[in-house]
Amino acid sequence: MTMKTLDGVDVKGKRVLVRVDFNVPLAHGRVMDSTRIVESLPTIRELRQNGAKIILLSHAGRPNGKRDVSLSLRPVMDELSFLLREGIYFADDCIGETPSSLVNSLKPGEIALLENLRFYNEEETNDPLFAEKLASLGDIYVNDVFSVSHRAHASVVGITKYLPSYAGRLLEKELHMLESTLTRPSHPFMAIVGGAKVSTKISLLKSLAHRVDTLVIGGAMANTFLYALGHNVGRSLFEETMVKQAIHILQELIRRDCRMILPKDCVVAKAPEPGAKSALVSVSEVPEDQMILDVGVATLEDIIEAIDQSKTVVWNGALGVSEYPPFDYGTKLVARHLAKKTKAGSITSVAGGGDTVGALNQAGCLKDFTYVSMAGGAFLEWLQGYPLPGVEALRESGEG
């Protein structure tokens, strides 16, 4: 995809509005995980070095258009200031006189963070007047956030109608990585898809069925496929309304001669609780009063074998209830094997989605994958081949 980037853009002395993702976990007025803030630093530092006046825009949580002090971005200002080793300014609003006065007082190289965009409903409804008010605070707009680029929001799409608009370094990096590894993957190409419901990932499964050489389905969504194949799944979570869709996917995989790996054995227990008494059983022997909560040893052997035969692996969703031991075993084993193969240079591994990132972090191998996307919905929509509104707005189209 051809996009307008910061290459060759003169930002000296100009007000540059940068859409970042500072939707980080907050507790007791402190940032609990600064990963997303750290990821934004390369673009911020480049703009500072080139003499821009930097105005940062972000949302946090879901305040539903109302001011919520627990979702204020003020703690983020403190964390960003600590990371940059330099003071930054904060405006307790994102439009109006307060941010306008602050922005107009900025000197080249100085940074201002504006308050939570979602304190206004107009942000999520992509209100043109709200977008215009945001745009009035800058001379240039930079989108540096893939994770909300699937949202047609005012600060992502609407604002681009009023200012010259470019992709920041983080967005540019993520799109390049996804484009090179997922749009043009080296084969054999393998996908691992987990999670709770087939209904939330049916489009993803259909898309992957046409592209991959091996498809692994785990998590609770695998139960729907097992049920469709006639297995008793006990008290396990499954979606009876999605059985026909599951059968259609199975038929498509057979038609394409694509290998599908479903659980052949599983770990069961009466409830997904830490340390719950569990047992390893065949999928044909799930007790009526038990739940399938992780993949079994024989299934893991199949997955590891498929990984060893693959050149590219994309992963979204845990294979079991990875929050609770012992049901995190399968996910951790696969994650660590993928990390080992990646470090050895024999495989390209890309993972994304909130629960996937958390599982990789728990496994201690988050940094060992070729690329891990912090985006959830945007990552899924990209995998499905959907155009992302925020990215489309940055396509080359002559002058901004």
Give the DSSP per-residue string, 335-393: HHHHHHHHHTTS-EEEEESHHHHHHHHHTT-GGGSSEEE--SHHHHHHHTTPPPHHHHT
278 in a domain, yes or no?
yes
Distance CA 217, CA 10 (A): 48
- The CATH number covering residue 61 comes to 3.40.50.1260
Determine the pLDDT at residue 227: 96
Query: In this predicted model, what pLDDT tens digit does every residue of 276-302 receive, in sequence order?
Result: 899 999 999 999 999 999 999 999 999
Active-site choice (61, 109, 354, 358): 354
Mean of the per-residue pLDDT values of the chain: 93
The verdict on 209 and 337 lying in the same domain is yes
197 in active site: yes
Confidence of residue 43 (pLDDT cuts 50, 70, 90): very high
Q: What is the mean pLDDT of residues 355-370?
A: 89
> What is the torsional sign of CA 58, 60, 65, 68?
negative
332 in a domain, yes or no?
yes
Determine the pLDDT at residue 1: 53
The verdict on 262 and 155 lying in the same domain is no
Distance CA 393, CA 286 (A): 50
Determine the pLDDT at residue 379: 87
DSSP three-state, residue 313: strand
Determine the pLDDT at residue 92: 96
Report the share of the chain in percent with pLDDT over 70: 98
Neighbours of 164 (CB within 10 A): 15
Neighbours of 140 (CB within 10 A): 21
Would the pLDDT of 22 be above 50?
yes
Distance CA 39, CA 173 (A): 11
Would the pLDDT of 305 be above 90?
yes
393 in a domain, yes or no?
no
Total domain count, the chain? 2
247 in a domain, yes or no?
yes
Confidence of residue 395 (pLDDT cuts 50, 70, 90): confident
Active-site choice (74, 173, 197, 259): 197
Confidence of residue 219 (pLDDT cuts 50, 70, 90): very high
Q: Give the domain extent around 344.
A: 185-383
Determine the pLDDT at residue 102: 98
Would the pLDDT of 199 be above 70?
yes
DSSP three-state, residue 326: coil
Would the pLDDT of 243 be above 90?
yes
Residues ≥6 apart with Cβ < 8 Å to 152: 126, 389, 390
Would the pLDDT of 397 be above 50?
no
Per-residue tokens: 342: 């990646």
The verdict on 204 and 348 lying in the same domain is yes
Confidence of residue 350 (pLDDT cuts 50, 70, 90): very high
Determine the pLDDT at residue 128: 97
- pTM exceeds 0.75, yes or no: yes
Determine the pLDDT at residue 396: 52
Distance CA 206, CA 212 (A): 11
385 in active site: no
Residues ≥6 apart with Cβ < 8 Å to 354: 376
The verdict on 223 and 105 lying in the same domain is no
The verdict on 189 and 281 lying in the same domain is yes
Would the pLDDT of 82 be above 80?
yes
Determine the pLDDT at residue 400: 41
Determine the pLDDT at residue 275: 84
Highest-confidence range of 152-156, 209-213, 253-257, by mean pLDDT? Answer: 152-156
The verdict on 262 and 337 lying in the same domain is yes
Active-site choice (36, 118, 133, 151): 36
Report the share of the chain in percent with pLDDT over 90: 78
Q: What is the DSSP track for 163-229? A: S-EEE-HHHHHHHHHHIIIIISPPSSEEEEE-SS-STTTHHHHHHHHTT-SEEEE-TTHHHHHHHHT
Determine the pLDDT at residue 183: 78
Would the pLDDT of 248 be above 50?
yes
The verdict on 28 and 144 lying in the same domain is yes
